[in-house]
Amino acid sequence: MAAKKFLRNVTGRITEIIATVTSAGAGNDGDIVALDATGKLDVTVLPVGVGPDVKIHPSSENLVAGNWVNIWNDVGTLKVRKADATAAGKEADGFVLANVTSPANATVYFGGINTALSALTLGATYWLSTTPGAGVATTPPSATGNVVQLLGKAISATEVEAALEDLGIVVA
């Protein structure tokens, strides 16, 4: 994507400035904001309380848009990995809407609509599966030691309204 550029008067000189698409925080104070490749504002440029409930953490493995993810403590650093129902401690905390190549930062959505899925059945209830990241199964897992977690309901063939309800059930 070509950089979005603007002209700005900097101490009496007209200077070409590249607009900020994603914000790193206070270091971007005063920047001009540009829309991202989807034609929308990135959530990092919005104030707290406006927009989706997200948090950015480094990934510990490659992630694919739509993956259900788990946030875990890696020796004092919170990291993001694919969620799966094979064992307690890897439940889904949220989902990602963009591909992430580890160890890059991942934007984790804690609720709302996961719009990066496919081949869903409209109205079906989906559960965390034993396939890391994939997460969508129309029946809860039933093998010994599996965790039962409700993810949400399909509102289209490509979207799940996230419930992310950890029922606290481990199959015995």
Please state the domain count of the chain: 2
Tell me what the mean pLDDT of segment 1-7 comes to.
80
pLDDT, one tens digit per residue, over 40-88 is 888 888 887 787 888 999 999 999 999 999 999 999 999 999 999 998 9
What range defines the domain where residue 23 resides? 1-49
- Amino acid residing at 103: P
Q: Contact at 8 Å (CB) between 64 and 133?
A: yes
Name the band, by pLDDT with cuts 50, 70 and 90, for residue 135: low
Residues 22 and 83 both lie in one domain: no
d(C-alpha 90, C-alpha 69), whole Å: 8
Tell me the average pLDDT of the chain. Answer: 90
16 with 98, same domain? no
Work out the number of other CB atoms within 10 angstroms of the CB of residue 21.
Answer: 18
In a shared domain, residues 84 and 126: yes
Percent of the chain with pLDDT over 90: 60
User: Are residues 145 and 113 part of one domain?
Assistant: yes
* Per-residue model confidence (pLDDT) at position 167: 66
Tell me how far apart the alpha carbons of residues 146 and 169 are, in angstroms, rounded to a whole number.
8
Residue 168 in this model has a pLDDT that exceeds 70:
no
Judgement on whether residues 7 and 74 belong to the same structural domain of the protein: no
Same domain membership, residue 11 and residue 72: no
Question: Comparing C-alpha atoms, which of 120, 172, 124, 118 is closest to residue 150?
Answer: 124
60 shares a domain with 5: no
Q: What is the pTM of this model?
A: 0.76
